[in-house]
Amino acid sequence: MSPQNFSSIPVLDYSLTTSSNPADKAEFISQLQNALINVGFLYLSNTSSVVEDKVVNELVSFIPRLFDLPQEEKEKVIMANSPHFLGYSRLGAELTKGQTDYREQFDFATPHVSRWKPGDPDYYNVWGPSQYPDEPLIPGFRNAIETYFSQVTKLGSQFISLIAQALGLAPDGLSRFYDTPERMQHRGKIVKYPVMNERSASDQGVGPHYDAGFLTILLQVTSHPGLQVQNLSGDWIDASPIPGTFVINFGRALEFATKGIARATSHRVLSPPIGSTTPRYSVPLFHNIALDVRVSEPEYQLEFPPEVLKLRDARGSLSTTDSVNYSEFETQPSGYVQLMGRVKYVLPSSPLFFFVVQFLFFTHRMSHNDTIRNFSRSFSQMDCRYKA
CA 289 remoteness from chain centre: 12
Predicted confidence pLDDT, tens digits, the chain (388 residues): 344 689 999 999 999 999 999 999 999 999 999 999 999 999 999 999 999 999 999 999 999 999 999 999 999 999 989 989 999 999 987 777 778 888 999 999 999 999 889 999 989 999 999 999 999 999 999 999 999 999 999 999 999 999 999 999 999 999 999 999 889 999 999 999 999 887 777 899 999 999 999 999 999 999 999 999 999 989 999 999 999 999 999 999 999 999 999 999 999 999 999 989 999 999 999 999 999 999 999 999 999 999 999 999 998 776 556 665 667 887 899 999 888 877 654 444 334 344 445 444 544 444 444 544 554 444 444 333 334 3
The residue among 131, 145, 123 whose CA lies nearest residue 63 is 145
Q: Is the CATH number 2.60.120.330 carried by domain 11-381?
A: yes
Burial of 317 (0-12, 13-18, 19+ CB in 10 A): exposed
What is the pTM for the complete model shown?
Answer: 0.89
The residue among 35, 221, 4 whose CA lies nearest residue 13 is 35
Return the half-sphere exposure (C-beta side, CA atoms, 13 A cut-off) of residue 3: 14
Where do the domains of the chain lie? 11-381
Residues 6+ apart with CB under 8 A from 219: 56, 60, 246, 282, 283, 284
C-alpha–C-alpha distance, residues 354 and 357, integer Å? 5
